[in-house]
Amino acid sequence: MDLAILYHGNCFDGAASAALLGRFLAERAGAPTAAIRHLPMAHRQGDPFPPGALDGPLNACVDFRFSPSPRLHWWFDHHASAFVAPAERAAFEADRSGQKFWDPSAPSCTGFIHRTLRDRFGWEAPELADLVAWAEVIDAARFPSAAVAVRLDEPALRLMTLLEATRDPALPDRIIEAMRRRPLAEIVAEPAVAAALAPILERHRAAVEIVRRLARLEGGVVSADLLGTGIEAANKFIAYDLFPEARYTVVVSEDPRRTKVSVGSNPWPRTPRTHDIARLCERYGGGGHPVVGAVTLPAGQREEARRIAAEIAAALRVEGPAAGAAAGAGAPPGRAP
Ligand SMILES: [Mn+2]
């Protein structure tokens, strides 16, 4: 089966979504899963789909924005910002394939795919219940506590950390393939995975120390500027572990490809969230969910990123519109881009 699955890269939910849909499509076609190609996608301004990404005979996209291309055959997403232009939304709504699904209230795309395949196609993989359950916890930031999310003892949380941090293009493929059938504890224990994880956990422990030094809480907003620290992305729960009274975090970071402003809300808030973070990020060309979002800039745009971060932090310090439709009340918490 010549299938390409485009998925949200460097993301547990993206990888788990690719694993689940890949297994379904292969079993449905009575084909081996060996020939499935996985293409990680990254949010960015402009068209994120690389040329040729949808040129294969069968193409799917999961946990990532919509493409109106007629070469997209299967699509599942739960991002509020799935449609960049009104024409894309119109194309989705006009689609009669019965193979494209969007639910911005779904806690995770993996859970959404699981429910959709069960309810509409009568297909289930009961042994993947753990994978689905952890995707729901991770993507909706429904950890029992910030400390659990910072300690990373659970196999699922170790895979989450590895997928978010790895720059090895072969590793996500191996993990997705393993996720189709194997228990998470077994995947983490695999020598190649354990070896890749060790330095990342070491960096994580160093990042906890650096965030502890740099993060400042002001008006309920934790700001951290990680530019120049060598930390490309810090686990976003460190801030809430340090400052349980914080409502929001605004973090500036960079990697060789981009400069990023990550905005989040405390999943264990002492006072409720009153801002829609996706909307706030959309003002700067970013997006996400009501509870978490990001603005991605080209590499090197440090001052622009700092300015945007300061403006977003200032907006979050001021009480937002009354928690209602505008603030996305009722929508479950979410995560990523
Ligand atoms: Mn997701």
**Would you place residue 232 in the very low, low, confident or very high pLDDT band (cuts 50, 70, 90)?**
confident
Under 8 Å between Cβ of 239 and 253 = no
Structure tokens at 247: 């409502």
Provide the pLDDT for residue 32: 80
HSE-CB of 209 using CA atoms within 13 angstroms: 7
Provide the pLDDT for residue 322: 54
Which CATH code, of 2.40.50.140, 3.10.310.30, 3.20.20.70, 3.30.230.10, is assigned to 216-327?
3.10.310.30
CA of 39 to the centre of ligand 1 (A): 16
Identify residues whose C-beta is under 5 A from ligand 1, the ion. Answer: 13, 63, 109, 139
**Residue 332, φ and ψ in degrees, nearest 5:** -70, 160
CA of 8 to the centre of ligand 1 (A): 7
Largest CA-CA distance found in the chain, in angstroms, rounded: 57
Q: Helix or strand or coil: residue 110? A: helix
Provide the pLDDT for residue 337: 42
**Would you place residue 326 in the very low, low, confident or very high pLDDT band (cuts 50, 70, 90)?**
very low
pLDDT digits (tens, 9 = 90+) for 28-69: 988 887 789 999 999 887 888 999 999 999 999 999 999 999
Under 8 Å between Cβ of 320 and 247 = no
Provide the pLDDT for residue 46: 80
CA of 109 to the centre of ligand 1 (A): 5
Tell me if the bond preceding 337 is cis, omega within 30° of 0.
Answer: yes
pTM of the full predicted structure? 0.77
Structure tokens at 169: 């293009």
pLDDT digits (tens, 9 = 90+) for 293-313: 999 999 999 999 999 999 999
Per-domain boundaries in the chain: 3-139, 216-327
Provide the pLDDT for residue 38: 96
Mean pLDDT across the chain: 91
Q: What mean pLDDT do residues 88-103 have?
A: 97
Strand partners, 84: none
Rounded Cα distance between 113 and 62, Å, is 9
> Nearest to residue 22, comparing CAs of 176, 132, 166?
176
CA of 213 to the centre of ligand 1 (A): 30
Contacts of 219 (CB under 8 A, 6+ apart): 316, 317
Q: What mean pLDDT do residues 205-226 have?
A: 94
Provide the pLDDT for residue 331: 39
**Residue 305, φ and ψ in degrees, nearest 5:** -65, -40
CA of 14 to the centre of ligand 1 (A): 6
pLDDT at 329 over 80: no
Q: What mean pLDDT do residues 271-290 have?
A: 94
CA of 21 to the centre of ligand 1 (A): 14
Q: Helix or strand or coil: residue 285? A: coil
Burial letters for 48-67: b for 16+ Cβ neighbours within 10 Å, e otherwise? Answer: bbeeebbeeeebbbbbbbbb
Question: Could you tell me how many helices (H) and strands (E) the chain has, helices first?
Answer: 12, 11
